[in-house]
A and B are shown apart, each in its own frame.
Chain A
């Protein structure tokens, strides 16, 4: 052993050039596998349950009955819808973490139409008004931080985050205004007897409309980002604002236009949640999806088609986790632990896709 070698660290980290597609996917699959094994070991240590039982329960929880599959597809499409909404903003490197609030505002506008116009206008007209109101309300809500970013270069991360809390407070204000019965701060199902403003169901399938709308949106967003001029412009702004300016793009316009789109899609999510499934609004209507959507979008590298997969992964785990707590009588927190472990590995493996560890010996060979 010579002295020079001793000073070398055991390993060091180097950036990979780029990995062939099959290799990076192999790493990802391996990560999921390792995550499942670790989660299994922890399950066994903490609860004494057979991990295989836990996994099969998760699968049953997600796919056990046709209702569960429908329910899974519904949750999947709602999460996907919000993920699609944040994607153009993120691709532009505009950190829109205000989707939660934008969805709530869209939902609030929908609920307002249903409550205030419920018996006064024909149903078809009401639904058209609801669509227009929810999309424009959420789009304007998203435009506010974009306007300030474009004009005064304010920090959009903080701005959009704060707007969430404003939206939540607005919703609780209206919950009190429209409460039923008095004092309960609870709106309950809107127009339960007349069904006014309830989005139509296709056949007997409660969630089919939502699923179809989101599927269409996915295709639209894929084409918009990949093949449209707008999509190209926003990715140029994302890569480098100076470049964008140099090639004659109106950066301010692109920022505001993209956030309008982002907000509008959030509005659609709010519309579908309030008009299509819940028929009520509470502060938890968005249910944290506005934040989960960020992860879905990032994990899929902003590709709407891949997002179907990442959104599926997360909704599958949520559905399965709920079933674990029912079947094994374990606290909901346990399923959060499992979800945490799995996400840790999935996000962590991106590191190994972008970087490689070079050990002392291998380092020598490279030289």
Chain B
């Protein structure tokens, strides 16, 4: 059983965005990190860059596969988790905590509406 916290919303491609603030924290889910296996490299955009909902914003590489990361919301990057560049294993160890990827100033409040709820995402992964 994978952890799916209630305080965030999800994309079918296994990215999450936290809800309830002016900014959203973005990362990949517990299910995603387990499917990928040991993460060895994460490529992320820099501060100030714009994300467009549903479009690629970075790359996560594990010993099994290289996968594109898709933006769950549109907005401006205000913080990047640079710890991942030296310690990509944080994505495996704590995907919802220390393994976060970006903090984004959300462009459109309604953007969360089309995302999956925790319950809907849980159904998808079962």
Please say whether chains A and B are actual partners in one complex: no
Binding site for A on B (CB under 8 A): none
